[in-house]
Structure formats: structure tokens, C-alpha cells
Amino acid sequence: MGAMSHGLSFLSRAPIQTTMVVCVGRPIAPPVLPSSSRNSGRRALVQNPFKQSIVLRCSRAYSAMVSNNADTYEEATTFDQDVWGDFFINYEPKPLQRSEQWMMEKANKLKEDVRTRLQTCNDLVERMHLVDAIQRLGIDHLFKKDLCSILRIINGSEFPSSNLHDVATRFRLLREHGFWVSSDAFNKFRGSDGRWSKDLYEHVELSYVRDRPVGNYVWSYLLFHEEGLALTRMITVKIIGLIIILDDTYDSHATIEECRKLNEAIQRWDESAIHLLPDYLKKFYCKILNIFKEFEDQVAVNEKYRVSYAKKEFQNLSTYYLEEAEWSHQDYKPSFKEQVELSTMSSTVPLLTVSAMLGSGETVTNEAFQWAAHQPSGVIACARIMRFMNDIAAFKV
């Protein structure tokens, strides 16, 4: 392989081109040995003539470049002036209205007031929030001993508050300062369906699927973090859970015949189709039907029609997955255009777009669902970006 293919021009027999200065916009510095090896560098160069030759050639090339291209060198080292100019150098502040001594006394008085409040406050929760406020103001270094003492008291005392914000603040503060606090403190805030993902994976009894409850929740929360979108987050988490199971079934476990039967059952969308499936997929199929039925029960009466849009997109996704499975089974090599067209639709973006709108309340109209269901250019663009990013990340050279 030629040396130039690595971009190392000084290994080439060809002379170094001075036009590199114009392209890069700054002069090429002469080679300098690292400071830690400068004293020993001479011995190394003598022992290694090849390295010596490289350094000499680089030095000569640099000298020739500077001498022959003085104008270019001067132009390349011209920088824009500082936007601030001499403003701060020549700035003369106005005389202080108060003396420096007065300000020092005032600061000390305020510090004593804060310290007194920390020591005299009898409410444990209030003292904890004082510690948190002082940290957030960036003045905790002024009260280090007081804060450490209060945190030890908080850690050794029974916490009186059952408020989630208070419990979370206590957990964070103590963990930040090296106190061990069990995450069991949050168990009482879990609802009856707080272990939904565990229930899903244990119910369907499919050991081959990826168990990603934390990732599912993070995806959902990052997309819909607003307080009023709790239902949207819950629906999105469940949809992602079903997508993962469906994808793993089509992609890595089911035979082609089982894939066809699963898609047929999903297209029929009826419990009577369960006989089409192998035994290990029957619980999963029933779970799909039940979850979408839950969605209908959780939205308002005049919003139940929305679930049909999500159901249709789930059926479409199953069809796309089956087509990919057929390609693999037939050892079919699609063209790039065919691959992009199918993989864009199987990226799950069309399904997630519609599903995320289920719990959006009255702000989303039926016309909006019709628009999203017809795969507008915005949805397709997002799907392609997601597909390309996923494929790039998963590609192995």
C-alpha cells in the first residue's frame, strides 16, 4: 500500500506541496520531539537512521516553505481582532457607594444569619431543603461543617415526609455526599401496574426476547416529559415493549411458516385466530389484543376511534417484518432503493407517531390522525433518519 493512502505526505518520495498552507489556513509547524524525550531523542535518531531521515526532510521542507512562501505565511497567520478590544484594559469602574469594609461586614452578617437558621431550624424537611438551596446557590463551601452535620442527622433519623419530591431530594443529597441510601425508599410510590414490563415478559413466556424495561421508559420519558402526558408515556412504553417482542420473533426465532401465521393472526385481529399460532406465541397474541383493549378503556369515549389508527399501524408493521423475513428466507438481495423503502417503514416510526397521539387529549383532532396515518413527508423523513442511524450503529465492518 502506498504511503500517500494514509495521508502522511512526508513518507512519500514526492516533494511536499506548499499549497497545503492555503488549504489548511495556517502554517505547518516544524517537527518537535516531545519534551519528555528531547534529551534521549538524539540517541534514538542515531540508532534509527530512518527516523532521522524523516525529521531532517520535514525540517528542510518547512524551512523551504517558509522562505519561498513568506507572503502566504504572513497571510495565514493573520487573525481577527478581539471583539472586546481594550475595553476591559482601559475600563475604570465607578467609585463604590459603600466601602469595602462595609461590604465585608455585610457578607459576614449574612453568613451568620444563614448559619443561625441552619442550626435553629427544628423541621428536618425544611433543614434538608435549606441544604439543597445552599448547594444550588454555590455557597456550600462557606458552611461545609454545618451541612455535613445536618446531613448526618438526616441520614440517622426517620424521615417524616412521604412526599415524592422530599424523598427524592433526601435520596439525592445523601448519595451525593457519600451516604448509602437504599432505593427501596421509592417502593411505596409504585402503582399497582408499576411492574408492567415484568408482567408482560413473564406472561408471554418468551425467553428469547430482549428485556429492555429501563430503555423503554427512558425513550418514552425523553419524548414526552411534560406533566400532563402520563397516559402518552404509558402507551408509548407498552407499544415499544410489544414492538421488541414482535421484532425478535420475526427476526431471530420464528420459522418462516410461523411468521406467516403470526402475521395472518394479527391481520385478523380476533381471538378466534389464536388456533393459527404455535403454542409459544398464543399468549403473546392474546396480550397484543388485551393491551389495545386497555388503550380503548383508558382514553375518553369520544377518543376511542384513535386506537384503530394505532392498531392499523401495528398490523402494517407486522406486514413489513414479514416481508423482511421472506427476503431472508429466500436469500433475496434487494436493491438499495428497495431496502430503503421497506426498512423505512419497518423503522417503527409510523406506528410510534400515531401511538404517541392516543393520550394527547382534545388537542389532537381526527384530521391530525388521518394526516399522520397517511405517512406525510415529515414522518417518512424521521423514519429514514432513524433507520440510517440504527443501521450505521449496528453495522459491522
CA–CA gap between residue 327 and residue 334 (Å, rounded): 8
Query: What are the helix (H) ranges across the chain?
Result: 20-24, 38-47, 49-68, 70-76, 87-90, 100-120, 124-136, 144-156, 164-176, 196-204, 213-223, 230-248, 256-268, 279-298, 305-329, 336-345, 349-355, 366-373, 377-394
- What's residue 85's pLDDT? 83
Q: Which residue has the cell 407499544?
A: 239
**HSE-up (13 A, CA, CB side) for residue 163:** 8
Fold of 196-394: Farnesyl Diphosphate Synthase (1.10.600)
Those residues whose C-beta lies under 8 Å from the C-beta of residue 354, and which sit 6 or more positions away, are 309, 310, 313, 369, 372, 373
Percent of the chain, pLDDT > 70? 77
- What's residue 214's pLDDT? 78
Q: Mean pLDDT throughout 28-38?
A: 41
Which of these, 306, 134, 318, 121, lies nearest to 231 by C-alpha position? 306
- CA 104 from chain centre, in angstroms, equals 46
Helix (H, G, I), strand (E, B) or coil at 123: coil
Which cell numbers in the block locate residue 1?
500500500
Given a contact cutoff of 8 angstroms between Cβ atoms, the answer to whether 361 and 288 are in contact is no
Q: Mean pLDDT throughout 127-140?
A: 94
CA–CA gap between residue 71 and residue 51 (Å, rounded): 31
Which of these, 297, 298, 270, lies nearest to 285 by C-alpha position? 270
Helix (H, G, I), strand (E, B) or coil at 10: helix
CA–CA gap between residue 318 and residue 272 (Å, rounded): 18
Q: Mean pLDDT throughout 45-65?
A: 46
Q: What is the largest CA-CA distance in the chain?
A: 90
Which of these, 138, 104, 133, 109, lies nearest to 121 by C-alpha position? 133
Q: How many CB atoms are closer than 10 A to CB 124?
A: 17
Given a contact cutoff of 8 angstroms between Cβ atoms, the answer to whether 193 and 238 are in contact is no
Q: For residue 120, is pLDDT > 50?
A: yes
Q: Mean pLDDT throughout 153-180?
A: 91
- What's residue 121's pLDDT? 92
pLDDT in tens, 351-382: 998 888 888 877 788 888 888 888 888 899 99
Which of these, 219, 248, 246, lies nearest to 356 by C-alpha position? 219
- What's residue 48's pLDDT? 45
CA–CA gap between residue 283 and residue 244 (Å, rounded): 15
Given a contact cutoff of 8 angstroms between Cβ atoms, the answer to whether 119 and 153 are in contact is no
Given a contact cutoff of 8 angstroms between Cβ atoms, the answer to whether 235 and 217 are in contact is no
Those residues whose C-beta lies under 8 Å from the C-beta of residue 88, and which sit 6 or more positions away, are none
Q: For residue 38, is pLDDT > 50?
A: no
Q: For residue 257, is pLDDT > 90?
A: yes
Q: Give the pLDDT band (50/70/90) at residue 50.
A: very low
Given a contact cutoff of 8 angstroms between Cβ atoms, the answer to whether 386 and 349 are in contact is yes
Q: For residue 28, is pLDDT > 90?
A: no
CA–CA gap between residue 299 and residue 264 (Å, rounded): 28
Which cell numbers in the block locate residue 385?
433518519
Q: Give the pLDDT band (50/70/90) at residue 107.
A: very high
| Segment 51-55 long-range contacts (CB within 8 Å, at least 24 positions apart) | 54/10, 54/11, 55/31
Q: Give the pLDDT band (50/70/90) at residue 397.
A: low
Q: Which amino acid is at 376?
A: P
Domain layout of the chain by residue ranges:
3-76, 105-189, 196-394
Which of these, 321, 306, 315, 281, lies nearest to 357 by C-alpha position? 306
- Superfamily, domain 105-189: Terpene synthase, N-terminal domain (1.50.10.130)
**HSE-up (13 A, CA, CB side) for residue 352:** 23
Lowest-confidence pick of 5-9, 143-147, 296-300: 5-9
pLDDT in tens, 286-337: 999 999 999 988 888 888 888 999 999 999 999 999 999 999 999 999 999 9
